[in-house]
Amino acid sequence: MKPPRFEYSAPETLDEAVALLAGNPGARPIAGGQSLIPILALRLAAPTLLVDLRQLPGLAAITVDTAGVRLGAKVRWCDIEDDRRLTSAHPLLHAAVAHVAHYQIRNRGTVGGSLAHADPAAELPGIAVTCDAEIGIVGTTGQRTLRAAEFFTGPLTTELRPDEIITELRLPCWPAARRWGFEEFALRQGDFALAGIALFYDEDAQGRACNPHIGMIGACGRPHRLEAVEALLDGRTIDDQTIAAATRAAAAAVDPPADLHADAKYRRALVATLVERALRAAAHNRGA
């Protein structure tokens, strides 16, 4: 199918882009087009104006410093994959992005587009919520920052206002000794995951887990943390007994939807299995 008719503009400044969005109620930003163009082709949306972000300066940098990792909104999946600094500066992010879609899509899809699209099965929103990331936004009222946990409000819905543009994602500093695991299951390589688990924890002097963070994607309406499982892991040694308790807690904590790909019972069992796999992977994954 062909998309509906739309006007097109490629502004050269953020101010101009925001003004275009604010002045045209039917306007929508476009970045890599990997989600928006299929939506237009299926006629699930009919924006009157596409505001192309490609010419905006300064949104394509990956910054690694003592504060953590900052990803500009126009950073593409392939940029993250190719940046060797991230294998140590944020190994969980690097591992998760390897699961995103296919090469052609990774070559165009962007950080800002993924966050704004807010697919519950997308990897980056899950990493952002798991890692307490912040999202930088600019609009007619100026700049603001939202915590990822409050940014995503439901399937394909966020706190983003129509005149706002995401400028960057800020991931807090990643300690070198942190343990982590990322596991997901998709029906085919490159498909959206039926479910996925991102987790990390630090260790105290006795080797017990502290500061555990566990985020879930795909089996829920929006990415969120499994706080009951985190509470169970906190202060415990991650041995077979703890892992078994964590998988039971994960199965009890989730209320997955059923769809044509999998029923709720299957997805609940899948989440439990992925928690187990991610915890076992974390025994080997430390830092890079």
Ligand X SMILES: Cc1cc2nc3c(=O)[nH]c(=O)nc-3n(C[C@H](O)[C@H](O)[C@H](O)COP(=O)(O)OP(=O)(O)OC[C@H]3O[C@@H](n4cnc5c(N)ncnc54)[C@H](O)[C@@H]3O)c2cc1C
Where does this chain bind ligand X (CB under 6 A)?
Answer: 28-36, 38, 53, 73, 100-101, 105, 108-110, 112-114, 116-117, 122-124, 160, 165-166, 192
∠ CA(111), CA(113), CA(114), 5° rounding?
A: 65
In the bound state with ligand X, the residue whose beta carbon lies nearer, of 44 and 210, is 44
Closest contact distance (angstroms) between CB of 134 and ligand X is: 15
Closest contact distance (angstroms) between CB of 119 and ligand X is: 6
In the bound state with ligand X, the residue whose beta carbon lies nearer, of 94 and 178, is 94
Closest contact distance (angstroms) between CB of 168 and ligand X is: 9
Nearest CA to 149 out of 225, 214, 233 is that of: 225
In the bound state with ligand X, the residue whose beta carbon lies nearer, of 30 and 195, is 30
In the bound state with ligand X, the residue whose beta carbon lies nearer, of 160 and 253, is 160
Closest contact distance (angstroms) between CB of 85 and ligand X is: 21
∠ CA(169), CA(171), CA(172), 5° rounding?
A: 145
In the bound state with ligand X, the residue whose beta carbon lies nearer, of 185 and 201, is 185
CB 170 within 8 A of CB 62: no
Closest contact distance (angstroms) between CB of 227 and ligand X is: 24
Which two three-digit tokens encode residue 236? 């415990």
CB 230 within 8 A of CB 209: no
In the bound state with ligand X, the residue whose beta carbon lies nearer, of 116 and 253, is 116
In the bound state with ligand X, the residue whose beta carbon lies nearer, of 148 and 243, is 148
Phi, psi for residue 198 in degrees, rounded to 5: -115, 130
* Paired strand residues for 158: 152
Closest contact distance (angstroms) between CB of 273 and ligand X is: 19
Closest contact distance (angstroms) between CB of 172 and ligand X is: 21
261 by Cβ neighbours in 10 Å (0-12 / 13-18 / 19+) ranks as middle
105 by Cβ neighbours in 10 Å (0-12 / 13-18 / 19+) ranks as middle
